[in-house]
Every structure is written in structure tokens, then in C-alpha cells.
Amino acid sequence: MNSPTGGGSERVGIGDTAGHMQDDGGESGKVTLGQLSGHALIQSYLRNLSAQPGVYRMLDAEGRVLYVGKARNLKARVSNYARPSGHSARIARMIHATHSMMFLTTRTETEALLLEQNLIKQLKPYFNVLLRDDKSFPNILVSKEHGFPQIKKHRGAKKEKGNYYGPFASAGAVNRTLNQLQKVFLLRNCSDAMFQSRTRPCLLYQIKRCSAPCVGYVDEAAYGALVSDAERFLQGKSTQVQATLAAEMAAASDAMEFERAAALRDRIKALTQVQSVQGINPRGVAEADVVALHMEGGQACVQVFFIRANQSWGNRDFYPKTGAGAEAPEVLEAFLGQFYEGKEPPRLILLSHPIEDADLMTELLSDRAGRKVEIAVPQRGEKAELVENAARNARESLGRKMSESAAQSKLLDGLAEAFDLDGPPRRIEVYDNSHIMGTNAVGGMVVAGPEGFVKSQYRKFNIKGTELTPGDDFGMMKEVLTRRFQRLLKEDPDRETEAWPDLLLIDGGAGQVSAVQEIMEELGVEDIAMIGVAKGVDRDAGKEEFHRPGKPPFALPHNAPVLYFVQRLRDEAHRWAIGAHRAKRAKAVGATPLDEVPGVGAARKRALLQHFGSAKAVARAGLEDLKAVDGISAAMAQTVYDFFHAKE
């Protein structure tokens, strides 16, 4: 997202005149006013601040950003911090830690809100509310690139031609809906390549989940009618679809086409079952996101329910960082700004709490959507019931998470005691390798901490070493750890972030631990605890031996909770590494020489393979034959021809 233009950074100090310059977000805009800090420092800025809208940053003694805030009136907002009393504990701590400030004016209040969200995402200040889960949501795509449209799950940029329906809260919610659509509308979900290669119907036709257009059991017009019905269903017009099907069934019966009438009857029955499952869906809310917040014990849970076409398309819970104790309006406003970055907001957003600047947020989201977006806090009726249901789910989700966190905390305490660590680890990194006789080798790293597995921090490492002996696990582990910690040393040499681990768990015994210790000593990182987890004599779970540098191996009691915890960590690393290896192997199996031809992407590769049948046939094709392929220009045909005939 681009920053607004027309703003300027004000570097203001005692005796300075407010000036404007381009803010690069770095240290150049920071001004330290002698030995002043806290209220006195903030007070010294006021006389030179303007009443324009803008964004301010509060920095600590080392120049780290503590907080980013927006203001309709910079001078008025900053003057609130200059008061010596009347602040919450959180704001008081923030003011006390402030040793300098930075300001940037904007043309409008909405630009200030947009810039604030950009800076929070970039800088991740300690006292700001941060949304840590920014994954995209899946949609259903009715593809229109083929005469017989395919219906499938889609995630990511909407580049493919077709109609998109969503978002759905999860892949599970999409799969359930696709399953319903297959039962009722008999649409294909196979790829175009699979469609072209079929000579007889697949199993989905046999179990009445597809109309088998691939072998001509339904013509293009009839299949198009099925697609139209499915899209009307996704638009919430299921009653119309049912009425149409009933009329068609009656007409088929009157014409004594009993087989067709029976097929329509089965579709109506499937649709009725779908509608009965969806009986809890709202009738008066066609399109909305229901966003409810629950806070307890300094933690927050935001529950989002997605309603589209009068249907509930699932829900997702989020646990934003509360900025050391922000109040509900600030948490919810920050969540909305960060959640809808890169996601299209619906026409209506129902909230459990009012937010501070609802008008600005409404304007910002409307700009992003290109149409009007309404934000409301309903007090009665069906909309209030929807919010109450979401709030109850948020409360229950947070309760479960807090309970799990307490159990996790006990396990980390037990881990520290069992392995004689300095304290409970905040970040555990677990490493494993996966390969078959050295081929498609991949290293995997999983991360765990007080909140359990941190999947956003998982990493895969494609083993690149050309001098490694196939199957050299020591060499692979050396490459993975060298790359991991060289990058850490480059990006955060002073260890100011939470990216540095407290404990390394290695899948292996004394040899692996010794190799890892040698690597870490070469890198100058010798203060991170490491433990090797080796299978016991019989290689049975529960008989693991643990190895530490310079100490004899030992085992834990077979029923110790810490042993189960370590087993879970090791098994998760093993699962992650195997998954990465299988994905790499599958990609290698599906690779063709066409992947290396400059300018040939997925669409052109598909066109060439469909036309010639194989990559080998493409390689043997003449220039004129290549030019005859749909979507392949004369210049591209020449490129493909030259690639395969370079030696000639």
C-alpha cells in the first residue's frame, strides 16, 4: 500500500522552527532533546506543532519506536500526553519511556489513518495493537476459461478468469460447500488437463457427484444451465433454484421421461438437505462480517463470522497483541485497519464495541472497496443476535487459549528443570532433514513457545550444497544451521528481536549435537542451549535418549509430561520436513523441459501440452506447428523452437 503524498516529517526541538522534509522512516527524522524525557520532552514539542492531521511516533532512548499514532489535530493529540497525570498505566509507561518523537503531517485525516496502519505493520511497535495472523482467505472460483466451467477452491490473487465467491473462513468451510455443490449441481472439479484426457467417466460420476461433461454425457448448454443454478445458489437464491428444479421434474414426469425426473428428484432432495443444514443462517443480513472482541487478563480474542448471500461461510478467531494493555475501542479499530488490508471489506461490518474513529475507518474501508461500507454496533434484533453469538465464541475461544497457555507454561517450566536450562525458553527451534538417498533433500525448522507452535515462523531450507555426499545428514544440518544463523547475525546482530531462539532441539544423537556445536562455535554463537533427541536402543517412542554438549546422555521417565512434549516437538519437525520433501519431489516429478523455456508460464505450457500431447513432442515440433498453437505468438514460437534446437 502506498503512503499518502503531500506530507512532511517535522523535526521539532527546543528553539527549532517546524520544518518539512520527506520522512524515510529511519533514524534521520529522530530528534533527541538533550536529557529530556517523558512529559517534559513531549511538552517541549507543543509550541512548534501544527493543528494539521498527521502521524506521530514515540521513540525510546535507543531510537526504537514505542508507539505510532494518528491524529486529526497533531497539536491537540500530543498535548494530551504532556499532562503529568490522568493516564492509564499503559500510557503512563509509554510516556515515561519516550525520549524523542517524530511527526509527519498529511493532507486529510483518512491519509493519517492509512499511514498509521502502514507504519504499524512495518515497525511493529511495542505499545501498538498488532494483528499477527494476516493469512488470506479461500474463495470458490467458477472458472470461465473453458467451455465446461470448473468449480474449485481458490486462494490468493484473483487473476484467473471467472466468478469468485467468498471469502470463506477456512479451507474446511470451502470444502463443505463444494461438496454440497457437487451433490446438487453435478459440476466438475477436475483440471482441464484431466478433463481432456478422459475416455470414460470417473468415480465422481458413479457416485452422482458429476454430470461427466468430459465424455459428452451432458452438452455445453445443459452444463451451462447447471453452472447458472450453482451460481444462483452461491448468491443466496436457493429457493428460486429449487422451484426451477421442481418445475423441470414435473415436466419430465408429464413427458414420461422418468429417468430424468428421478435424477431431478435426487437433486431436489440434496438441495433440501443443504437448506435444512443452513437453517441457522440470517434472513435479514445478506452480506456482512460480524466482528466481536473479548478481552480478559491482558489478552484479546477477535471472532469474525463471514456472512455472504444470507449464508454463514464460517468463522475464524484471532488473537491480536494488545499493545501492553490497550482498551477495547483501540484494539478493535486497530484490528479492522490491519485485517482489511489486502482483503475486500463487505458492505456491512457489525461490531461488538464502538471504535474511536468510526467515520474515518468507514471512509478508509469504502475507499479500499470502491463502494460504500457501513460500520454498525447493533443493539437489538437479528444483527444484535449475530454479534452476541460471535462475542460468546470469542469469550469461549479466549478461555480455551488461556487454559492451553497455562498448560504450555508448565511444560516449559518442566523442560527448563529437566534439561537444566537458565529459565523457561521463550522460543524453541526444532530442526530435521528429509530426503530419499540424498535426493530432493529439504531441511525443516519448526518453532514453539509459550503459545504453542508458531506456524508463521516455520521455515523450509532447500539443500543447495553440491559437494554433499548423498544422505549426509551431518552436512545437511550444517548447511541449514549455517544459513539460519548467518541470516540472524546479519539482520539482528544485537539480538534485539524475538527471532533468536533460547533452545535448539536436534533430531539425532551425540554425533549430531557435536556437529551442531561445532557450527555454532564457528559462527560465534555459543550461548544457545542445544539438545539432541535420539531414539533409544529399540527405537521405540518413550525410550528416547537426550544428548547435551559435554554431558552424558540421559533419559526421562516414560510417563513424564516433558517427554511427551519433546516427542510432540520432534514429531512436528519431522512432519514439516517430510511435507516439504514430498512437495519438492512431486514438483520434480511434474517438471518438464518446458519449465526452463523463457517466457513459457503455466498458461502457455498448458496450451503446448494440450496441442502436442507431451513435452517431447513439443521439442520435436517444427516452427510452423508451434505457431499454430492457440496463445503462442510467432515470437514465442521462435523462442520455443530456438530453445530445443540451439545445438543445431
Q: What is the pLDDT of residue 2?
A: 40
Q: What is the pLDDT of residue 238?
A: 64
Pairwise CA distance, residues 625 & 610, whole Å: 13
Pairwise CA distance, residues 362 & 376, whole Å: 10
Q: What is the pLDDT of residue 352?
A: 95
Of 110, 192, 119, 93, the residue nearest 151 (C-alpha): 192
What angle is formed at CA 387 by the lines to CA 383 and CA 393, rounded to 5 degrees? 145
Q: What is the pLDDT of residue 182?
A: 83
Q: pTM of the predicted model, to two decimals?
A: 0.68
Pairwise CA distance, residues 529 & 625, whole Å: 63
594-597 contacts, C-beta under 8 A, 24 or more apart: 594/618, 596/643, 597/639, 597/640, 597/643
Grid cell at residue 628: 499454430
Residue type at 220 in one-letter notation: E
Grid cell at residue 400: 480455551
**Pairing assessment for the beta strands 439-449 and 428-436 based on DSSP bridges:** antiparallel
Of 354, 344, 404, the residue nearest 378 (C-alpha): 354
Residue 644, number of CB atoms within 10 A of its CB: 18
Go through the chain and tell me how many residues it has: 648
The mean pLDDT values, 10 residues at a time, for the chain of 648 residues are 41 33 37 68 89 93 92 92 89 93 92 91 91 79 88 86 87 82 85 84 88 91 88 75 77 78 72 53 84 91 90 87 88 93 90 92 92 94 93 91 85 90 91 72 88 88 71 78 89 83 88 86 87 71 80 85 89 87 69 77 82 83 88 89 74
Of 594, 576, 283, the residue nearest 457 (C-alpha): 576
Q: What is the pLDDT of residue 429?
A: 93
Residue 390, number of CB atoms within 10 A of its CB: 25
Pairwise CA distance, residues 463 & 486, whole Å: 16
**Pairing assessment for the beta strands 503-507 and 529-534 based on DSSP bridges:** parallel
Non-local CB neighbours of 175 within 8 Å, separated by 6+ positions: 153
Pairwise CA distance, residues 299 & 278, whole Å: 33
Estimate the crossing angle of helix 358-369 against helix 109-123, to 10 degrees.
Answer: 80
Element (H, E) at 620: helix 615-620
Q: What is the pLDDT of residue 601?
A: 81
Asked if 32 and 2 count as a contact pair (C-beta separation under 8 A), the reply is no
Residue 550, number of CB atoms within 10 A of its CB: 7
What angle is formed at CA 469 by the lines to CA 464 and CA 472, rounded to 5 degrees? 85
Element (H, E) at 449: strand 439-449
Structural domains in the chain, sorted by start: 8-123 (3.40.1440.10), 139-280 (no CATH), 287-399 (3.30.420.340), 428-587 (3.30.420.340), 593-644 (1.10.150.20)
Grid cell at residue 255: 413427458
CA dist 511 → 267, 429, 514 (Å): 63, 19, 5
Cα(first)–Cα(last) distance of the chain, in Å?
49
For 39-177, list the strands marked E by DSSP. Answer: 54-59, 65-71, 100-105, 139-143, 151-154, 162-165
Kindly calculate the radius of gyration of the chain based on its CA atoms and give it in whole angstroms: 30
Element (H, E) at 585: helix 561-589
Element (H, E) at 97: helix 89-97
Pairwise CA distance, residues 394 & 600, whole Å: 48
